[in-house]
């Protein structure tokens, strides 16, 4: 069993898979499940890097003991305190009462707050080290990726970065846990969706973290969610780098809220003109049919965003209103924005979207289109003009 869990040197994978949870953080769908990754360094001193969700503790404990048997664990390194990673802390403490918890000042405030645990602690600052015998660990504080206590642990001996939620992705690890033993196809879009919804607000913090990691000779990325990245680690770092700089690809997300299909016809007319003008990446999302996590992921992916809403009770369509709030929460940058609306007897949607446009600070493209009741020749012309304006703005960046 020990050889089957080995990553490199004396480092082992002891994480678990969750195929039962429907929503991550009670918000984001998990069609492929999610892994909770933990790592064990079986050295002269034994170190456990993060734990797992408390629901899987018995499986977790079995995996640990399959590697170290009855040996004690000397250190528990906490890179991130979110309960899906720290949830087994109290039970680990019961089974290994002399374990020393390693973390930073922010970590220990949360350890006591969540679990009432004090005991012996190893308080680290940025750049501090811990010698386990063969493996030497160095700690890098990476606050707000995506909590204030987050940090990363670098194994100087093997070039392994234990990155917490950084470089994470949704999806269980089916069979193998390293990218060298997995078909990783599903993880690329799930990584974008994970980043967009979980980490997306904190682009500047991710950039600071990447600056700290840049001088390191990283051979392997051990995140708390998703595969252990070896062969494709550079692609993973590149995705996080581009997304944290809000660098979108050429393309347009058209998202709309419609009750009777008329607002949808506006979206279709805009999309057709974008295609005629040579824009190939066009994604239409009906907010009634698509969960916002997928919409947000596409907005992070593409430069162009066009939003349409029916007027509802003199307000925005409710699901559009909710989506706009989620977009603003993430402090996105470098997007081109167009918008359109519809009404029957009183126009209101466009007024509210104008407020969103000002708050978002996105670059406004084209003239907003307001439709009364249903499509007319004039409305078709105005929608085509909006699509043309967006296409021309995108092509300026080629």
pLDDT in tens, the chain (398 residues): 567 899 999 999 999 999 999 999 999 999 999 999 999 999 999 999 999 999 999 999 999 999 999 999 999 999 999 999 999 999 999 999 999 999 999 999 999 999 988 778 999 999 999 999 999 999 999 999 999 999 999 999 999 999 999 999 999 999 999 999 999 999 999 999 999 999 999 999 999 999 999 999 999 999 999 999 999 999 999 999 999 999 999 999 999 999 999 999 999 999 999 999 999 999 999 999 999 999 999 999 999 999 999 999 999 999 999 999 999 999 999 999 999 999 999 899 999 999 999 999 999 999 999 999 999 999 999 999 999 999 999 999 99
Q: Tell me, what's the pLDDT at 119?
A: 76
User: Which runs of consecutive H residues, i.e. helices, occur in the chain?
Assistant: 2-5, 57-68, 83-86, 89-95, 105-115, 185-194, 203-213, 233-244, 262-276, 292-301, 318-329, 349-360, 377-395
Three-state DSSP at 310 gives strand
pTM over 0.85: yes
The total number of residues written for the chain in this structure = 398
Q: Tell me, what's the pLDDT at 128?
A: 98
Q: Scan for tokens 């990218």, then name that residue.
A: 179
- C-alpha–C-alpha distance, residues 11 and 115, integer Å: 27
Q: Tell me, what's the pLDDT at 2?
A: 60
β-strand partners of 102? 77, 122
- Residue 181: name the closest of 4, 27, 354 by CA: 4
Interstrand relation of 39-42 and 46-49 (parallel, antiparallel or unpaired): antiparallel
Q: Tell me, what's the pLDDT at 239?
A: 96
- Residue 338: name the closest of 291, 290, 289, 269 by CA: 269
- C-alpha–C-alpha distance, residues 173 and 133, integer Å: 30
Q: Tell me, what's the pLDDT at 135?
A: 97
């Amino acid at each position: 069993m020990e050889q089957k869990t080995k990553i490199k040197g004396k480092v082992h994978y002891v994480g678990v898979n969750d195929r039962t949870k429907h929503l991550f953080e009670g918000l984001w769908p998990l069609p492929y499940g999610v892994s909770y990754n933990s790592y064990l360094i079986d050295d002269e001193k034994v170190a456990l890097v993060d734990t797992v969700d408390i629901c899987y503790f018995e499986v977790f404990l079995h995996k640990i003991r399959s590697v170290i048997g009855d040996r004690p664990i000397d250190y528990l390194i906490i890179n991130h305190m979110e309960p899906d990673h720290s949830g087994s802390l109290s039970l680990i403490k019961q089974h290994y009462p002399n374990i020393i918890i390693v973390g930073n000042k922010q970590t220990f405030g949360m350890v006591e707050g969540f679990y009432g645990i004090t005991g012996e602690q190893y308080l680290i600052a940025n750049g501090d080290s811990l010698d386990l015998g063969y493996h030497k660990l160095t700690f890098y504080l990476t606050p707000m990726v995506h909590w204030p206590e987050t940090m990363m642990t670098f194994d100087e001996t093997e070039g392994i970065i234990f990155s917490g939620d950084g470089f994470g992705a949704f999806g269980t690890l089916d069979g193998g846990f390293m990218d060298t033993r997995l078909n990783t196809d599903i993880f690329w879009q799930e990584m974008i969706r994970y980043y967009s919804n979980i980490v997306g607000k904190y682009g500047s913090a991710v950039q600071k973290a990447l600056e700290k990691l840049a001088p390191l000779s990283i051979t392997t990325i051990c995140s708390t969610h998703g595969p252990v990245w070896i062969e494709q680690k550079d692609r993973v770092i590149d995705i996080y780098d581009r997304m944290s700089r809000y660098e979108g690809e050429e393309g347009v997300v058209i998202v709309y809220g419609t009750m009777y299909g008329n607002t949808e016809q506006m979206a279709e007319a805009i999309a057709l003109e974008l295609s005629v003008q040579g824009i190939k990446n066009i994604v239409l999302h009906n907010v009634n049919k698509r969960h916002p996590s997928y919409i947000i992921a596409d907005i992070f992916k593409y430069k162009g965003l066009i939003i349409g809403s029916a007027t509802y009770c003199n307000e925005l369509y409710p699901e559009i209103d909710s989506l706009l709030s989620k977009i603003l929460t993430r402090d996105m940058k470098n997007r081109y924005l167009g918008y359109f609306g519809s009404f029957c007897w009183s126009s209101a949607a466009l007024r509210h979207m104008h407020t969103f446009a000002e708050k978002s600070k996105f670059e406004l493209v084209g003239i907003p289109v307001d439709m009364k009741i249903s499509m007319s020749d004039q409305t078709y012309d105005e929608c085509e003009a909006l699509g043309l304006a967006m296409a021309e703005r995108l092509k300026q960046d080629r």
